[in-house]
Amino acid sequence: MAKGYWVSAYRTITDPEKLAAYDRLAGPAVQDGGGRLLARGSRAVAHDAGIAERTVLIEFDSFDQAVAAHASAAYQEALAVLADGVERDFRIIEGLD
């Protein structure tokens, strides 16, 4: 079964306090959903139209698990706290194997 991944590329962070509150809630929600944080805010080199802002990569055992974790009440609560504190490109993608 192919793994699932959350990929978040933050274009702008307009409210660091909202982001910090989101992090406090999102971390446990992701773990409870079976996610493993692989990278967050690590060094990055942007190419093409990329922006070298905060990037997050989270791995799940399956694509369906990644989708379910995003839909969970706990993660939706984290998103409500984040609100308009950032502009980001968030994707759930399926791995190759």
Q: Look-up: residue for tokens 């706290």?
A: 81
Domain holding 24, by residue range, is 4-94
Give the dihedral of Cα atoms 33, 35, 40, 46; nearest 10 deg: -110
CATH of the domain at 68: 3.30.70.100
pTM: predicted TM-score of the whole model, two decimal places: 0.92
SS3 at position 85 = coil
What's the structural domain count of the chain?
A: 1
39-60 confidence digits (pLDDT tens)? 998 788 889 988 888 999 999 9
- Average pLDDT for residues 63-79, to the nearest whole number? 98
Residue 64: CB atoms within 10 A of its CB come to: 13
34, two tokens: 């079976």
